[in-house]
Amino acid sequence: MFCRCCSNAIEPERREVLPDTVFCSRCAISQDVVKRKKGILVFEHKTGGYLQTMSAADYDHNKRYFVPIGARSVVKNFSKHHSGSC
């Protein structure tokens, strides 16, 4: 089966999951057929967190509540304080 937009073959994995699809994954995203998801990492404990996914509209509506608490990432702290020379 071929994409209605670009005429390239639709990926077999995509056809397996969505048998009625008429767009390849690239065209589905560019044509807004597939809405992108956004998410945040939620840490309830020191041992690890989980990814909370939501629609882009929900993310934009609630992003003012996603304020980092505590220290910044170790990688950011390390790169900020070291010039990169050994």
Confidence (pLDDT) at 85: 47
Q: How far apart are CA 3 and CA 85, in angstroms?
A: 50
What's the pLDDT tens digit per position in 14-49?
A: 899 889 989 998 888 887 766 667 888 877 777 778
Q: How far apart are CA 37 and CA 86, in angstroms?
A: 40
Mean pLDDT value across the chain: 77
Among 67, 9, 56, which Cα is nearest to 34's?
Answer: 56
Percentage of the chain surpassing pLDDT 70?
73
Predicted TM-score of the model (pTM): 0.41
Average pLDDT over residues 48-67: 81
